[in-house]
Structure 1
């Protein structure tokens, strides 16, 4: 091992000290939910509230959708918050900053009980649409995420009013703060928003054909992947039963488990997620900015009218993913013989990790600190942004990583080709040491490569945190 560390020391001379790590600020978010259209909204609210100290929740708005056209049920959101209130003091024993039940109740709002564009126009303001504007007017430079779990007409009305009542300069500034992630199109206001506000940051798999949406990777059965973590048995044992009032509020799956959760998964600070860069990939999936080819979209039995996109949007992107699996002898991990491809796998590849994270936080509802597991803390011995020359070697080192519970740690480093500009794959061994040595590819032009550290403890359930190292390779 000694030559390895000598080489690492030499290569450290080439490191760039300019960091590109994302800010530690909490992401602001307003939820738009057609709660009671499907139990999965309630499931997603339960998960969201367990991260309420890590995500800055600014609004919880009951809306309509194509599945729930003529009513809104804010009282159903309040019911979940009441269950949260019973466990909030115990959650504080594990991490601080969980908002009070009273604070969250004050954020519950209603949209109009009208479907889609019938609820957009002059005189069609609602408590929810005005609240979005109020949050945009706050003296806060952070982006405001709108996490849309149902129809988007409450957001559409906010935008309609902003355009009608604000100066062009003020409206542009307000809209520039918005970041939208919609769970497909569940009313006809989504395409209206995208057509009329071409500069709005918008993540969507357009139309209501859920089978062709990235977010469905959360509940798709993949032959050869870990599907146990979305099974009804796993849910009952790890979430619903013997986990206090909030676990008891988690309903059985009726259609697909937690179909709305991907709309906020990438807002959770875990070292992998970077909400401002959907192309980097994270718990909520990976997306690229382009105008989808409408000719490849089939109408089928679509409820929401499908129309051609007139602008670039953040939408489906493909990953090739070969899992690492446990090995009984020799090196503790090895690559599987199965490789998965497609846009759903950009989300499903992290599924076991974000489900275990959820289960660990659900344990916090009743357990003392000593009885529960907590996230490991990855620590790099170098910057998260590195620059080297073509063909040169460099080292990655996370040997100073720790675990608050004193658990043993497993390290896994891998190149994430789709997240960077370099189209090849960089291989190295051993991938599971706390420090690795890698040779940069030979390049003819400037290229970027993303290397991910996956640090997992051996607690129960096992929890994973990450570090993303962005490598810039310059031609000689």
Structure 2
């Protein structure tokens, strides 16, 4: 099951009296001036938290100002670990929703009750947690109110559903209720079909500008792709701020986020079972923090990325700065398609005024010279900024297709190319009959006796485009050598 958590901004007051504030921050023995400075920092932290505190756990949706989580905690122990970790840091986030969704490993079931089981013991730890925080942790009642469910279907199959899931409705409501200067961080711990469902609904019911405004509010961080909804979202909403490791399906060792969980050769002093038992599997929440099976807290990077700790770039909308959730550089292929001049386009290849991908063929005589002209080839990028180098041309012989088992040909002579017109035109001299044609014994049952079989030469005209990256296109020319008469044969 993939829970999705959404955190709405709400007022979180300071402790009601100075005594409790000083006790929690150890201010009693400090000079009054330092005490005021710390209070100022606390107030700054409170304001900052209120603008970047939403976690969406619908298997991986996050926003910068609020957070919503989407995950599948029932079948993946590390998801349960991450949920406990999130709750223990929920004073730093304004969690607006937790949505149970499917994923690759649990593709037809959602279990919001498993999330509620964890939050049911929240009252037992809440007072002690509040003792150590300058702002209030969310209450058990509030957490219960924001646990929702997505449709129990896998990936883009959600588009077949006739009604919106409660998870998608909740996500839309949260985004629509955001102040103008706030964003929603969505953390994807499993499949992101609930987010895809919400985005598709918004696009189909609102004007393009309204849809763009909705998308601009979202900041998504997913634990790789765990269904086919993630690629669908990136393709259909290329402007969405989307953090993900793109790699082979289930090839999680290639992902950036695994740095938190530890891998082969990493320092596991804090990510082993002994440390976990001693430090995490204690107190009322301890039973909900399972033993390590596959990895430890694999989904935690989605919200560590936005934790306000002074080093993370997430709260400031700069994932390229790096931090506890990893460092991510911008990959935006859509930018190359916004303007024609920014793209790289295929050259249009023509030989003897024949263009297109089909080959052309000529029957030639031994020792004949044939001219192949690529003068009609052109560059669709010619004259565009950054395309000043022009096309590059090359003619070459593809020998392998000329040597076949049925002809018994072993030696393929090398063709000579004489180039002109800056490489656009090639004159090709056909080998002699002695080289190009060999006598072979035909099938005795046919009664054809001895005949000559001549080779076919494959000439490739290769054109390299002027864009970046350069695109190559080709034209194949097949030169079929006409068989000469055998001694004693008469021409008919």
Q: What TM-score bracket applies, with the shorter chain setting the length?
A: 0.5 to 0.7
Q: Of residues 213, 222, 230 in structure 2, which corresponds to 1:190?
A: 230
Single out whichever of 108-117 and 245-254 deviates more from structure 2: 245-254
Kindly state the Cα deviation for residue 121 of structure 1 after the two structures are TM-superposed: 5.0
Quick check: 2:175–2:217 contact (8 Å CA) kept in 1? yes
Quick check: 2:305–2:324 contact (8 Å CA) kept in 1? yes
Kindly state the Cα deviation for residue 253 of structure 1 after the two structures are TM-superposed: 1.4
**Equivalences for residues 204-215 of structure 1 within 5 A:** 204-207=244-247, 208=249, 209-215=251-257
Distance in 2 between residues matched to 1:43 and 1:311, nearest whole Å: 38
| Structure-2-length-normalised TM-score | 0.53
- Structure-1 residue corresponding to 2:297: 258
Quick check: 2:305–2:323 contact (8 Å CA) kept in 1? yes
**Pairing 1:106–2:132 present:** no
Distance in 2 between residues matched to 1:132 and 1:36, nearest whole Å: 22
**Pairing 1:47–2:73 present:** no
Q: Of residues 162, 187, 212 in structure 2, which corresponds to 1:123?
A: 162
Quick check: 1:266–1:273 contact (8 Å CA) kept in 2? yes
The SS at the match of 1:97 is coil
Name stretches of at least 5 consecutive residues in structure 2 with no aligned partner. 1-46, 54-65, 337-492
Q: Of residues 177, 187, 196 in structure 2, which corresponds to 1:147?
A: 187
Distance in 2 between residues matched to 1:263 and 1:154, nearest whole Å: 17
Greater relative contact order (CA < 8 Å, ≥ 6 in sequence): 1
Distance in 2 between residues matched to 1:23 and 1:274, nearest whole Å: 14
Q: Of residues 148, 168, 172 in structure 1, which corresponds to 2:208?
A: 168
Query: Alpha carbons of 1:104 and 1:248: their partners in 2 closer, same or farther (altered >3 Å)?
Result: same
- Structure-1 residue corresponding to 2:261: 219
Quick check: 2:80–2:290 contact (8 Å CA) kept in 1? yes
Number of corresponding residues: 271
- What do residues 159-201 of structure 1 show as CA deviations (whole Å, max 9, x unaligned)? 0000001111111111100000010000001100000001000
Quick check: 2:52–2:183 contact (8 Å CA) kept in 1? no
- Structure-2 residue corresponding to 1:281: 322
Distance in 2 between residues matched to 1:199 and 1:245, nearest whole Å: 43
- Structure-2 residue corresponding to 1:459: none
Kindly state the Cα deviation for residue 310 of structure 1 after the two structures are TM-superposed: 6.2
**Pairing 1:238–2:279 present:** yes
Name stretches of at least 5 consecutive residues in structure 1 with no aligned partner. 1-21, 292-308, 313-476
Distance in 2 between residues matched to 1:97 and 1:201, nearest whole Å: 30
| Structure-1-length-normalised TM-score | 0.55
- Structure-2 residue corresponding to 1:395: none
Kindly state the Cα deviation for residue 206 of structure 1 after the two structures are TM-superposed: 1.7
Distance in 1 between residues matched to 2:218 and 2:160, nearest whole Å: 20
Quick check: 2:73–2:80 contact (8 Å CA) kept in 1? yes
Which runs of structure 1 show a deviation greater than 4 angstroms over 4 or more consecutive aligned residues?
Answer: 309-312
Quick check: 1:281–1:287 contact (8 Å CA) kept in 2? yes
- Structure-2 residue corresponding to 1:79: 117
Q: Of residues 300, 306, 311 in structure 2, which corresponds to 1:267?
A: 306
Kindly state the Cα deviation for residue 26 of structure 1 after the two structures are TM-superposed: 3.1
Kindly state the Cα deviation for residue 23 of structure 1 after the two structures are TM-superposed: 4.9
**Equivalences for residues 30-429 of structure 1 within 5 A:** 30-95=68-133, 96-121=135-160, 123-140=162-179, 141-207=181-247, 208=249, 209-221=251-263, 223=265, 226-241=267-282, 244-275=283-314, 276-291=317-332
Distance in 2 between residues matched to 1:258 and 1:44, nearest whole Å: 5
Who wins on radius of gyration, i.e. which is larger?
A: 2
Distance in 1 between residues matched to 2:209 and 2:152, nearest whole Å: 32
Distance in 2 between residues matched to 1:23 and 1:94, nearest whole Å: 18
Quick check: 1:182–1:204 contact (8 Å CA) kept in 2? yes
Quick check: 1:40–1:253 contact (8 Å CA) kept in 2? yes
- Structure-2 residue corresponding to 1:26: 52
Root-mean-square deviation (Å): 1.8
Kindly state the Cα deviation for residue 274 of structure 1 after the two structures are TM-superposed: 2.3
